[in-house]
Amino acid sequence: MLKKLNSENFRNEILDKKIALVDFYADWCGPCRMLSPVIDEIAEERPDISVGKVNVDDESALASEYGIMSIPALIVFENGKEKARLVGVRPKGEILAELK
């Protein structure tokens, strides 16, 4: 299930999970809109992974904390630590490969 993330729920939904995928995006970002259906599919297909989205306009502190300079930006967390970072639109297979 896809979760809308903010500074209040980020730790519980992402950092406290074994594996998590976070999509940093903005509503006005064309490439983010292209990637969004892929993230939705991953969230549906992989219930074992916590998948969430952070709107960088609404949650600028979180975006800053994780050094988000370009969007879309995907961060894979494993046991609360950043494992991988993908910037830009990426194919689903490449994203899934980072989740193994």
Identify which of 44, 48, 45, 52 has the alpha carbon closest to the alpha carbon of residue 21.
52
- Give mean pLDDT, residues 48-55: 96
pLDDT tens digits along 2-43? 999 999 999 999 999 999 999 999 999 999 999 999 999 999
Active site residues: 29, 32
Count up the domains in the chain and report the number.
1
The pTM score is 0.95
User: Residue 76 is part of which domain span?
Assistant: 2-98
Q: Residue 95: helix, strand or coil by DSSP?
A: helix
Confidence of residue 1 (pLDDT cuts 50, 70, 90): confident
Domain harbouring 50, CATH code: 3.40.30.10
